[in-house]
Chains A and B, each alone.
Chain A
């Protein structure tokens, strides 16, 4: 009978329509600003810089090696290396970025900067409310705006952050053991003055590859 197919199709529509009153999987609409879906853990959008400790400037992990600047496909990162050095989170003097800008109007969230960073200093953020009426200045994030604490990183990507911290701690322990062994070797040798007070902890050494 002509019209059979149409009727069959309409029953499907009716089932979806009526089902939307009783079944969650038929009504998937979310009333966005009032109601939000939970964030998926691996979500990424724009990069940010991690710092350890309370002071963002002192604790910044970035040592301005400029690898991310070189590897960034759309070239949206701009880094100026500092002339002087400052102690990093564990006290070792390191260069730091005098200027670190990311133009997020150019950034395409590919996270290659995260992959190539040997210091785990740059990670992907999840903040998406970044509209601004200043097209140039408002979308050019400087290092102050980019700096976010390690606690924040743990909050947004708990699994990944735990893995990164684990790898960093392991590296640190290795470096510590090395320093200790060297100190012991020195102490064992006679007629040498006792070694200077060992550093509180060795600095974060490059972690092989991407900890993910």
Chain B
């Protein structure tokens, strides 16, 4: 026996080691984890027997910063929650503050919000499908096709708001800037071309046998669990839960548009994948109607001040159907220039809570596909 014990003998024998299980750490720098997200996965052979998500690597203290910031000053920070859909984040926060202060939004601003919000949904779903297929090994091609389309929408955002991703577009009581000349025609063109891309994209992989083998019956989320765990957005609807806040709350002007809420029946990865296609088609309907009907008029409530904005003491919860699910902001005002309490209900985080239930008994390679189909952005999960 040598003077130094071997390193392995220093390790305590754990229960895991005794059962011949293997514990692996996926992430946080794993390319399939959509950011810095780690999963401690315990495997029995190839099967997952336990999965523990570890997050917080991207924690930026968003809520506390917002409590020390003016109401307007938090608006650009909301862009950075779910950095793919900054406009819907702005929208949810604006709705919360408008409820708190009792601000009316002019008609044209509501239309602008719907148009930009639905464009955001289109680009979020398109890029999500690309990411998901990329995760499942279809490297590059579908992602690049999706990004080609997303780029056109980002160009629209840049022409309207000045930034591609960190738009900082909504203001309390309306929107920051009106459409520049020619923007609406450009947007109409993008929306008119989008169904062609969707058809192509569906043909590309929806009928693909390999994809169907890998996704059908994988990561099944039952309707009961979806309801009990508080799922929202496409994740819940893929499990057959008919819950769309655009229909439930009828916030903004969504009751004016004719659109349907697609529902899945199996709740597996394939249903979640198809759900995004169907939702994009419904969004296109809303966009077409909104761009046809948009009225003239002011784009911001003239009574709302930009500076020295102090809502009366009270509390408000504003929520919208963001592309990922129910995005809510809860605010308490004590009458000062910054919120007393500021809380975000992030859809990504809540949809992530069922990850272990979805992954148990699946192969380790399926974990990647399941995580991809949940649609998370770590900026929103960790805040």
List 17 A–B pairs whose Cβ atoms lie within 8 Å, in order of A's numbering.
A5-B206, A8-B207, A9-B203, A9-B204, A16-B145, A16-B200, A41-B180, A71-B70, A71-B73, A72-B73, A73-B73, A73-B74, A73-B76, A124-B162, A159-B180, A159-B181, A210-B306
Which residues from B are CB-within-8-Å of A105? none
Chain A nearest CB, measured from B90 CB (Å): 11
Q: Whole-angstrom distance between the alpha carbons of A212 and B206 in the complex? A: 45
Q: Whole-angstrom distance between the alpha carbons of A44 and B158 in the complex? A: 9
Chain A nearest CB, measured from B363 CB (Å): 21
Beta-carbon contact of A6 and B210 below 8 Å: yes
Sample of 15 further A-B pairs with CB below 8 A, known A28-B151, A73-B69, A159-B181:
A5-B211, A6-B208, A8-B203, A11-B203, A12-B200, A16-B200, A73-B77, A109-B166, A110-B75, A110-B79, A112-B72, A112-B168, A159-B180, A209-B306, A210-B306
Beta-carbon contact of B306 and A115 below 8 Å: yes
Please name the 7 residue pairs, one residue from A and one from B, whose CB atoms are nearest each other, closest first: A5-B207, A110-B76, A44-B162, A73-B73, A5-B208, A12-B204, A42-B162
**Interface residue B353 (Cβ < 8 Å from any Cβ of A):** no
Beta-carbon contact of A108 and B203 below 8 Å: no
Task: Name the contact of A42 in the complex, choosing from B160, B204, B205 (C-beta under 8 A).
Answer: B160
Fill in one digit per residue for A134-167: 1 if any B CB lies within 8 Å of its CB, else 0: 0000000000000000000000000100000000
**Interface residue A40 (Cβ < 8 Å from any Cβ of B):** yes
Which residues from A are CB-within-8-Å of B72? 71, 112
**Interface residue B307 (Cβ < 8 Å from any Cβ of A):** yes
Within 8 A of A (CB), among B214-235: none
Q: Whole-angstrom distance between the alpha carbons of A72 and B69 in the complex? A: 9
Fill in one digit per residue for A53-67: 1 if any B CB lies within 8 Å of its CB, else 0: 000000000000001
Within 8 A of A (CB), among B150-164: 151, 155, 158-163
Which residues from B are CB-within-8-Å of A111? 162, 168
Fill in one digit per residue for B173-185: 1 if any A CB lies within 8 Å of its CB, else 0: 0001100110000
**Interface residue A4 (Cβ < 8 Å from any Cβ of B):** yes
Which residues from B are CB-within-8-Å of A110? 75-76, 79, 166, 168
Beta-carbon contact of A13 and B204 below 8 Å: yes
Within 8 A of B (CB), among A1-58: 2-6, 8-9, 11-13, 15-16, 28, 40-44
How many cross-chain pairs have Cβ atoms below 8 Å apart between A and B?
Answer: 88
Beta-carbon contact of B209 and A5 below 8 Å: yes
How would you classify the secondary structure of chain B's contact residues: helix, strand, loop or mixed?
helix
Beta-carbon contact of B163 and A44 below 8 Å: yes
Chain A nearest CB, measured from B166 CB (Å): 7
**Interface residue A95 (Cβ < 8 Å from any Cβ of B):** no
Residue with the greatest number of chain B CB neighbours at <10 A, chosen from A115, A116, A124: A115
**Interface residue B40 (Cβ < 8 Å from any Cβ of A):** no
Beta-carbon contact of B203 and A71 below 8 Å: no
* Interface size counted on chain B using CB atoms at 8 A: 39
Given A9-B204, A16-B145, A109:B163 Cβ within 8 A: yes
Q: Whole-angstrom distance between the alpha carbons of A41 and B180 in the complex? A: 9
**Interface residue B29 (Cβ < 8 Å from any Cβ of A):** no
Closest to A157 in B: B162
Within 8 A of A (CB), among B123-173: 141, 145, 148, 151, 155, 158-163, 166, 168
Beta-carbon contact of A116 and B306 below 8 Å: yes
Given A6-B208, A12-B200, A109-B166, A42:B159 Cβ within 8 A: yes
Within 8 A of B (CB), among A71-106: 71-73
Chain B nearest CB, measured from A48 CB (Å): 14
**Interface residue B212 (Cβ < 8 Å from any Cβ of A):** yes
Which residues from B are CB-within-8-Å of A43? 158, 162-163
Q: Whole-angstrom distance between the alpha carbons of A28 and B197 in the complex? A: 14
Given A28-B148, A28-B151, A112-B73, A42:B207 Cβ within 8 A: no
Closest to A10 in B: B204
Q: Whole-angstrom distance between the alpha carbons of A13 and B207 in the complex? A: 14
Q: Whole-angstrom distance between the alpha carbons of A73 and B141 in the complex? A: 40
Task: Name the contact of B76 in the complex, choosing from A11, A12, A108 (C-beta under 8 A).
Answer: A108
Given A9-B204, A112-B76, A116-B306, A212:B177 Cβ within 8 A: yes
Chain B nearest CB, measured from A161 CB (Å): 13
Q: Whole-angstrom distance between the alpha carbons of A4 and B151 in the complex? A: 31
Chain B nearest CB, measured from A25 CB (Å): 8
Q: Whole-angstrom distance between the alpha carbons of A212 and B212 in the complex? A: 51
Which residues from B are CB-within-8-Å of A116? 306-307
Task: Name the contact of A41 in the complex, choosing from B77, B159, B161 (C-beta under 8 A).
Answer: B159
Chain B nearest CB, measured from A123 CB (Å): 11
Which residues from B are CB-within-8-Å of A109? 163, 166
Given A4-B207, A28-B151, A112-B73, A42:B161 Cβ within 8 A: yes
Beta-carbon contact of A40 and B208 below 8 Å: no
Closest to A126 in B: B162
Closest to A28 in B: B148
Chain B nearest CB, measured from A164 CB (Å): 13
